[in-house]
Amino acid sequence: MTGAGPAATARVVHVAGEDLRVLEAGRGEPVGFLAGLGGLPLWTPFLERLALERRVVAPSLPGFPGGGHVHHQLDDLLDWITVTLDLLDAAGLGGADLVGHGPGGLLAAEVAALSPALVRRLVLIAPFGLFDAAEPVADPFARRPSELPRLLSSHPEAFAATLALPPGEDEVEWRVGSVRAAEAAARLLWPLGDLGLRKRLHRIVSPTLLLWGGEDRLVPASYAKRFADGIAGPTRIRSIEGAGHRIDLDAPEAAAEAVLAFLREA
Amino acid sequence: MKLLWFHLMPYTDLPDDFKQRHPSVWVDIDSRLFDPTKAHHMYNDFMDELEAAADAGFDGICVNEHHSNGYGLMPSPNLIAASLARRTRDAAVVVMGNSLALYNPPIRVAEEFAMLDCISGGRLVAGFPVGTPMDTCYAYGMNPSQLRERYREAHDLILKAWQEPDTFTWNGRYHKLRYVNPWPRPLQKPHPPIWIPGGGSVETWQWCAERDYVYAYLSYFGYQAGQATMNGFWGEMKRIGKDRNPFRAGFLQFVGVAESRDEALDLYRESAEYFYNRSLHVDSRYAAPPGYASEATIRSKVVSQVLQAAVRATDERAFGAPSFEEIVSKGYVIVGSPDEVAEQLREVAVTLNVGQLMLLLQFGNMGKPLALYNTELFAKRVMPQLRDLFEREWENRWWPKPLPSAERARPREVGR
């Protein structure tokens, strides 16, 4: 934590039979955040920075930290989209701006396509959901643990430190929580092929920012154009040089500023 | 006790520098290493060995399923079992087994196992593995978070398909079938014995106890490493009030037997080293797809066997391969004279309390002559020393019940 922004508070919303955590911080117009791989075990400097200007509301997706075991109820993409819609409604994010990262980006795009009125401005940070065999999305689920930091981040040592056991946490539960988050992502994305979003992109009418780390080794930065080409609403592509897939860790200030600048245009 | 002869069907011609030049024997093994002409001979040699084992008096012959795997050339064990059903008379045909979640619809397993049971005259043991991560999640693209749910549903569907006389509708979570009515049905009633090959998960132990299935621990690391798992299994049986009938449990052990220990050490060195250093060279990146191990298993810190193998493989890349001396001293392979092997196996069976003992007598790049020598010497000189174990005290309720021999069909001799 940089101490630059307001502290987050937690509440719960009841979705799919479980209490799911919603973290929030800041004031003003709400902006929803659907987190990426690993979810939000802790609040991040990127979100702190966003919360200097907006009320950031981050509901936990099923199986990700704070997301209970709801993922075990979800059998296909439609189930995931349905629970995401329920979650955004319950968190009071109907009609708000929405930011999604990685798997959260996929679900944000799906929600914007299927329920356009729910999303004002849309920010997709290196989202999953498209697949080009000529330049495939890398497989984060077939990695030795030592390889993951380099795959996900341009600052692998700093990234690895975020995975370490925080003081006061139970080691087994911390490990179970991180495996559960990986399982939730796998349940949604496995085996990382085209999920059908391609056929729905034209339904996205929200102004959309496609934000990428220039050194994303997981979802190639060239996918920004594939998304932009399919989305009906006005799109902007923004790449942050020197950042990897975890742009929120590699370049929190620049990433937050890019998001805020785009949202300010409303 | 029952003594069964197990074949993995390893590709026997991986290059000497395989481990140095290739990341994995599994999933992304280089297909350019596969020579179908050599494989023609390997398959036929392997099937000869299985048939010879049945002729030599082994109680059962076992085959299993692997995909994209350089030590297991049986994506379909059912194909091999079909041939064995015709070419053997009395041995149990033990298919260990079909990874249920990979068959769509799963009634394919009900059908093919019923065919095998009919063709063999009721000699089938139906093995229902979940399957390794490499086979299921990577080679076959199965979602690791859904694998076990799909396995359980497939299991329930197959059991019902075998036992329900009327056509029925299946409205499952993953499978919707308007008309379920497999034809043929198994010869054994209510169904062939079911054995579950498993690693060390508590859920699998409970599941076997609850359903009254055999739990088979197919370890590549011998009885010393298997001790903890089998202790866990029997501890769980005790906790839930099941008896210690040793026929509830199966265990796999590599064995090399010769006239003397020195001769055995000499004869089996190369194939053992080949297996542990080339065949078992598994990349750890394919060992632990998220969701494959349940949270309970993670919590109990029971690490699955495949993960152990892969971790070993990783360690060995760092620290060098296990030497033959280690392979022997750690009990991965039991080698010795017939009396020495019999004594050790008796101790293994008693210590682990295992009544269905599966022997790997062909392993690594072992050729047919040595595999047959190992098999025949074992059958003549080791088997008689072990046969009586457990037989008086316990009933083996998990063994096939075939038609009486006189009522079984006699396949025609192979013509010219």
Q: What pLDDT band is residue B414 in, cutting at 50, 70 and 90?
A: confident
Contacts of A172 in chain B (CB under 8 A): 298-299, 301
- Cα(first)–Cα(last) distance of chain B, in Å? 39
* Residues 6 or more apart whose Cβ sits within 8 Å of residue B351: B223, B227
Is residue B57 within 8 Å of B27, Cβ to Cβ?
Answer: no
Residue B382 DSSP one-character state: I
Q: In this model, does residue A119 exceed pLDDT 90?
A: yes
Q: What pLDDT band is residue B309 in, cutting at 50, 70 and 90?
A: low
Mark yes or no for CB contact B141/A191 under 8 Å. Answer: yes
Q: How far is CA B10 from the centre of its chain?
A: 13
| Dist. CA A264–CA B167, nearest whole Å | 63
> Is the CB of A146 inside 8 Å of chain B's CB atoms?
no
Q: How far is A57 from chain B (nearest CA, A)?
A: 28
Q: Looking at the domain assignment, is residue B191 inside a domain?
A: yes
Nearest to A186 among B289, B293, B301 (CB): B289
> Is the CB of A176 inside 8 Å of chain B's CB atoms?
yes
Per-residue pLDDT reduced to its tens digit, B24-49 = 999 999 999 999 999 999 999 999 99
Q: Looking at the domain assignment, is residue B414 inside a domain?
A: no
Mark yes or no for CB contact B298/A144 under 8 Å. Answer: no
Structurally, chain A folds into a number of domains equal to: 1
Is residue B190 within 8 Å of B122, Cβ to Cβ?
Answer: no
Query: Residue B79: left if φ>0, alpha if ψ -120 to 50, beta else—which one?
Result: alpha
Residue of chain A nearest B147, judged by CA positions: A187
Q: Looking at the domain assignment, is residue A2 inside a domain?
A: no
Q: How far is A124 from chain B (nearest CA, A)?
A: 25
Mark yes or no for CB contact B285/A144 under 8 Å. Answer: yes
> Residue A122 is part of which domain span?
9-264
Tell me which residues of chain A, numbers 57 to 86, contact chain B at a CB-CB cutoff of 8 Å: 71-72, 75
> Is the CB of B298 inside 8 Å of chain A's CB atoms?
yes
Q: In this model, does residue B320 exceed pLDDT 60?
A: no
Strand partners, B126: B95, B194
Per-residue pLDDT reduced to its tens digit, B323-358 = 999 999 999 999 999 999 999 999 999 999 999 999
Residue of chain A nearest B283, judged by CA positions: A144
| Dist. CA B400–CA B387, nearest whole Å | 17
What ipTM describes this predicted complex? 0.95
Mark yes or no for CB contact B314/A187 under 8 Å. Answer: no
pTM of the full predicted structure?
0.95
> Is the CB of B132 inside 8 Å of chain A's CB atoms?
no
Q: How far is A236 from chain B (nearest CA, A)?
A: 34
Q: What is the DSSP string of B345-380?
A: HHHHHHHHT-SEEEEE-S-TT--HHHHHHHHHHIII
Structurally, chain B folds into a number of domains equal to: 1
- The pLDDT of residue A58 is 98
Average pLDDT, chain B: 94
CB atoms within 10 A of CB A168: 5
Q: What pLDDT band is residue B370 in, cutting at 50, 70 and 90?
A: very high
Contacts of A187 in chain B (CB under 8 A): 143, 145-146, 291
| Dist. CA A180–CA A178, nearest whole Å | 5
Mark yes or no for CB contact A183/B144 under 8 Å. Answer: yes
Tell me which residues of chain B, numbers 3 to 42, contact chain A at a CB-CB cutoff of 8 Å: 27
CATH number at residue B207: 3.20.20.30
Contacts of A183 in chain B (CB under 8 A): 144-145, 290-291
Give percent above pLDDT 90 in chain B: 87
Contacts of A151 in chain B (CB under 8 A): none
Greater confidence (A187 vs B201) lies with: A187
Q: Looking at the domain assignment, is residue A103 inside a domain?
A: yes
Contacts of B285 in chain A (CB under 8 A): 142-144, 147
Strand partners, B254: B333, B360
CATH number at residue A122: 3.40.50.1820
Per-residue pLDDT reduced to its tens digit, B61-116 = 999 999 999 999 999 999 999 999 999 999 999 999 999 999 999 999 999 999 99
- The pLDDT of residue B317 is 46
Residue of chain B nearest A71, judged by CA positions: B145
Q: In this model, does residue A188 exceed pLDDT 50?
A: yes
| Dist. CA A42–CA A186, nearest whole Å | 21
Q: In this model, does residue B243 exceed pLDDT 50?
A: yes
CA dihedral A89, A93, A95, A101 (to 10 degrees): -110
> Residue B290 is part of which domain span?
2-407
Minimal CA–CA distance to A109: which of A205, A15, A219? Answer: A205
Q: Looking at the domain assignment, is residue B415 inside a domain?
A: no
- The pLDDT of residue B318 is 42
- The pLDDT of residue A19 is 97
- The pLDDT of residue B160 is 98
Q: What pLDDT band is residue B319 in, cutting at 50, 70 and 90?
A: very low
Mark yes or no for CB contact B290/A175 under 8 Å. Answer: no
Q: Looking at the domain assignment, is residue A4 inside a domain?
A: no
| Dist. CA B99–CA B292, nearest whole Å | 14
